[in-house]
Amino acid sequence: MQPGPIIFLCFALAAGVLAVLVTVYELRRKRFEPEPTEDRVFRCGDCSYVYTDDPDVDQSRCPECGRFNTPFVF
């Protein structure tokens, strides 16, 4: 058996795997793109620590001092 076709097959296989990976990456990117980071930004009124929390919480406890803060509006 000649090495030529085997090498070609390896390249074809690698190209196929690469194509699948790119497709999966694109699908994942599209799925996450419409919602960049929906996390709410909080800024502590006591220690000025800036942190984020889930978008569905109205009040979040500061990880530095424990004070509850309302979302920071830009």
Q: Which residues bind Zn ion (CB under 5 A)?
A: 44, 46-47, 49, 62, 64-65, 67
At closest approach, how far in Å is the CB of 67 from Zn ion?
A: 5
Neighbours of 42 (CB within 10 A): 22
Provide the β-strand partners of residue 40: 53
At closest approach, how far in Å is the CB of 43 from Zn ion?
A: 9
At closest approach, how far in Å is the CB of 39 from Zn ion?
A: 17
Q: What is the DSSP letter of 7?
A: H
Q: Which helix (H) or strand (E) holds 5?
A: helix 3-32
**Cβ closer to Zn ion: 38 or 46?**
46
